[in-house]
Amino acid sequence: MSILEDIEVELSIVLGSAQVQIRQILQMSRGAMIPLDCGQDDPTLVFVNGELIAKGRILVNSEEMSLEVTELTRKSRN
């Protein structure tokens, strides 16, 4: 077993984002919808420790969701 296997990283899968006022959030009820800043064909973004590492698309099969990675991003050199 590699020593690297026990290192934890923060993984975020981002479908889109929205800016919403607290007032709107407090008025929401079950089933409320929040429009996102993307379309259904836009890529889903994969971040590790806050850095974009890949793009993909969400797949739904019955009750399960998964992410198909379609592109790995290169780290920009500053």
Does residue 22 fall inside a structural domain? yes
Does residue 41 fall inside a structural domain? yes
Give the count of alpha carbons within 13 A of 40, CB side only: 1
Q: How many structural domains comprise the chain?
A: 1
44-65: per-residue pLDDT in tens? Answer: 999 999 999 999 999 999 999 9
Q: Please give the C-alpha separations between residue 18 and each of 49, 57, 60, in angstroms, as whole numbers.
A: 21, 19, 23
Whichever domain contains 56, its CATH number is: 2.30.330.10
The closest of 41, 34, 35, 76 to 55, measured between CA atoms, is 41
18-38: per-residue pLDDT in tens? Answer: 999 999 999 999 999 999 999
Q: Please give the C-alpha separations between residue 13 and each of 19, 32, 49, in angstroms, as whole numbers.
A: 18, 21, 11
Q: How many other CB atoms are there within 10 angstroms of residue 46's CB atom?
A: 20
Q: CA–CA separation, 2 vs 71, rounded Å? A: 27
Q: With bands split at pLDDT 50, 70 and 90, how would you rate the model's confidence at 77? A: low
* Domain containing residue 48: 3-72
